Amino acid sequence: MAQAAETARTVILTVDDDPGVSRAVARDLRRRYGESYRIVRAESGESALEALRELKLRGDLVAVILADYRMPQMNGIEFLEQALDVYPGARRVLLTAYADTNAAIDAINVVDLDHYLLKPWDPPEEKLYPVLDDLLDAWRHSAYKPVPSTKVVGHRWSARSSDVREFLARNQVPYRWYSVEEPEGQRLLAAAGQDGQRLPLVITPDCTVLVEPEAPELAARVGLATTPTADFYDLVVIGGGPAGLGAAVYGASEGLRTVLVERSATGGQAGQSSRIENYLGFPDGVSGAQLTDRARRQATKFGAEMLTAREVTGLEVNGAARVVRFADGSAIAAHSVILATGVQYRQLEADGCTDLTGCGVFYGSALSEASSCQGQDVYIVGGANSAGQAAMYLSRGSKSVTLLVRGPDLSASMSHYLIQQIGEAPNISVRCHTVVEQAHGSEHLERLTLRNTVTGETEQVDAQWMFVFIGAAPLTDWLGDSVLRDERGFILAGPDLTADGRPPAGWELDRPPYHLETSIPGVFVAGDARAESAKRVASAVGEGAMAVMLVHRYLEQS
């Protein structure tokens, strides 16, 4: 039974231009192997190649290919030679007549033939099955690897390819990466009928080929929810970081019809963290991806909808309804809204960084790139917890990790436990009073020019990998003037709106705004996007839960 489960999608393919022989071969194969393998038959070399390409796109495995030698247009050796390009790991068998044995022997050198069978093969128990049993056993013990259902083909140093990989990874979508320079990448391109001029190429589990897909299309095709099931909700949560996930869990668990809208991937900046060690209840630490996955499953268990790759462009008041508008022109409405959009890392203004983003220069940890840093020198820009967590994670496989810090030390913004860990790591060094002045490289990052902010001295260092964790810019520009924000763009709420003792302009209720309520009644803010927030995972989750409590209070009085 275990073997049957393992080989449920594995194929044995047979091709013979004689319909009677083709049916006979398939019949004998099904009788012996039908419970464990799919038997696929074709009656020409061309149709068999087409079937192989389709199987390749679907991610199916092919264990054995049996081909008749004497076929018109394309004989068995010519077919197997082309089949070798599609499934190089499949075992190859040639069906021949006695007069063609010399051709079969020659084929051993041409297509690395595994066996040839003389026709007729009756009885199959003596002449067919023992041969195939040995070949299948050899195939199962070979280096074949069942690949995940989604495949990505692209250039190693490509910002767009990096974006697609990061999107899939952060949304917990299993995928397999193939460089276009590798033979398997070329085979997938050929199977998809593409020449590689437009990349990345994504092949979904249902064989759909996506060329240079944008996030909404990619999300929909790999099974992520992108369309709301209703037009009106009790609560819309905008942003899927810790604050948004916390709000979704508490909102849905307390009976509110809740939908969470995320523009890229749930987890926010915390979801990119390799390890969070000071979050309550996880004494051994927890990765951002693990914490995010658990929170997402928890929210959906209580009935919250999770929409991915939906960009919100506007917030409007329509009577008692709060209307959330999307980039595609559609909208949803709700009694209340929680803004949990979080922040993003500020862009490094050094010359050359913009052109090399995604090609050696990355913002955030970009964990999908970590495996490529093995044995290499890595530079990290920033001195807060996120930079420290990335340094510890990348130091496991990198030759060296250098933290570039503008300030005099790490104590200003990094937790004490991280400072201690960095100090004990033999391959991590910290360069204080140091900034990046220029990034150099043609197709990818090759060197950095560093400047000492005290002495003004500069030096160039070889570098292929730089991860940037500087500052925090709130993701609130889309709000425009709809809610009050401070000069840096962070959302004002509660007491910050009534510092002079008066309610904010346009406030029409008799009561002052609740603690996390914005300048629009019924619209609340939680997490890093709020002015003067703590910028910690635990506080963001707490604010998400508190915002739901205040939503209940608002709804009761409305």
- Gap between the Cα atoms of 403 and 54, Å rounded: 48
Number of H helices, E strands in the chain: 16, 26
**Is the model's pLDDT at 3 over the cut of 60?**
no
Which are the contacts of 500, defined by CB distance < 8 A and separation ≥ 6? Answer: none
**Is the model's pLDDT at 331 over the cut of 60?**
yes
Burial state string for 175-207 with b = 16 or more CB within 10 A and e = fewer than 16: bbbbbbeeeebbbbbebbebebeebbbbbbbeb
What are the backbone dihedrals phi and psi of residue 177, each rounded to the nearest 5 degrees, phi first?
Answer: -95, 135
- Gap between the Cα atoms of 365 and 342, Å rounded: 16
Pick 549 or 372 by higher pLDDT.
549
Average pLDDT over residues 65-77: 89
Average pLDDT over residues 485-513: 91
pLDDT band at 309 (very low <50, low <70, confident <90, very high): very high
Average pLDDT over residues 169-181: 89
Average pLDDT over residues 340-355: 93
The tally of CA atoms less than 13 A away on the side-chain side of residue 302 is 22
**DSSP label at residue 286:** B
The percent of residues in the chain predicted with pLDDT above 70, rounded, is 94
């909404």: which residue's tokens? 216
pLDDT band at 33 (very low <50, low <70, confident <90, very high): very high
Q: What pLDDT was estimated at residue 4?
A: 40
Residues in the chain: 558
Q: What pLDDT was estimated at residue 498?
A: 87
**Sequence letter at residue 385:** N
Burial state string for 298-329 with b = 16 or more CB within 10 A and e = fewer than 16: bbbebebbbbbbbebeebeeeeeebbbbbeee
CA distance to 245, 310, 515, 551, 555, per residue, from 544 (Å): 7, 20, 12, 11, 17
Fold of 361-468: FAD/NAD(P)-binding domain (3.50.50)
- Gap between the Cα atoms of 237 and 247, Å rounded: 7
pLDDT band at 1 (very low <50, low <70, confident <90, very high): very low
Strand partners for 321: 318
- Gap between the Cα atoms of 555 and 517, Å rounded: 13
Q: Taking the domain 150-221, which CATH number applies?
A: 3.40.30.10
Architecture of domain 232-344+473-557: 3-Layer(bba) Sandwich (3.50)
Q: Taking the domain 2-140, which CATH number applies?
A: 3.40.50.2300
Q: What is the per-residue pLDDT across 416-474, written as a single tens digit (0 to 9) for each? A: 999 999 999 999 999 999 999 999 999 899 999 999 999 999 999 999 999 999 988 99
- Gap between the Cα atoms of 431 and 402, Å rounded: 7
Q: What is the per-residue pLDDT across 365-397, written as a single tens digit (0 to 9) for each? A: 766 677 788 899 999 999 999 999 999 989 988
Dmax over CA atoms of the chain, in Å, equals 102
Average pLDDT over residues 356-368: 84
Strand partners for 259: 236, 305
Pick 121 or 526 by higher pLDDT.
526
Residue 397: is it exposed, middle or buried by C-beta count within 10 angstroms (0-12/13-18/19+)? middle
Q: Is the fold of 150-221 the same as that of 232-344+473-557?
A: no
Helix (H) or strand (E) holding 193: none
Pick 7 or 17 by higher pLDDT.
17
Mean pLDDT of the chain: 90
**Is the model's pLDDT at 145 over the cut of 70?**
no
Q: What is the per-residue pLDDT across 202-246, written as a single tens digit (0 to 9) for each? A: 999 888 999 999 999 999 999 999 999 999 999 999 999 999 999
pLDDT band at 116 (very low <50, low <70, confident <90, very high): confident
Q: What pLDDT was estimated at residue 5?
A: 37
Q: What pLDDT was estimated at residue 502?
A: 84
pTM: 0.77
Q: What pLDDT was estimated at residue 7?
A: 45
pLDDT band at 157 (very low <50, low <70, confident <90, very high): confident
């979704």: which residue's tokens? 248
Domain boundaries, the chain: 2-140, 150-221, 232-344+473-557, 361-468
